[in-house]
Amino acid sequence: MKINANGFNISGFNLEDVVADATLVFAGASNPAFPAGGLSTTNLDNKVGWATISQPFNTTVDLGNIAVTGLNAVTLAAQLSGLAGQANETYYTQQGVTGHQNFDLIVVPEPASLGLLGLAGVGLIGRRRKRNAAAALA
């Protein structure tokens, strides 16, 4: 999972699973690779947070493979969609700006999912070639 700062100086973020279901978003095996300079970090099965006063970031930060296996971008966004202004809101804080802002989460598919997609693509190409060959013979 990556956070795209869109050029803003990010001094903190909160990613919190707000859906009361059996999915604990951050219960995977990997711990977050927090940006340098973290004054405060949170690493729980339902919440990942980071804050600094000295080293904000303004580029894309890769937190690593911290979400549980099998979550796609749509499901993850739904799990992290807290209501604005609530304590469990997913947000970032920008250095020098009061309040919370929304940011872009970039969900990187796990290697196994990418492999299945590639295999499905190869299968579809093979099926099309076989169908075209059969049509040419008829």
Report pLDDT digits (tens) over 20-72: 787 888 887 789 999 998 889 999 998 899 999 889 988 888 888 888 887 77
Number of H-type helices and E-type strands within the chain:
2, 7
Mean pLDDT of the chain: 76
Residue 38 one-letter amino acid = G
Collapsing DSSP states into helix, strand and coil, what is residue 106?
strand
Neighbouring residues of 114: CB distance < 8 A, sequence distance ≥ 6: none
Which pTM value belongs to this model? 0.68
Residue boundaries of the structural domains of the chain? 2-107, 111-138
Q: How many angstroms separate the CA atoms of 12 and 106, rounded?
A: 17
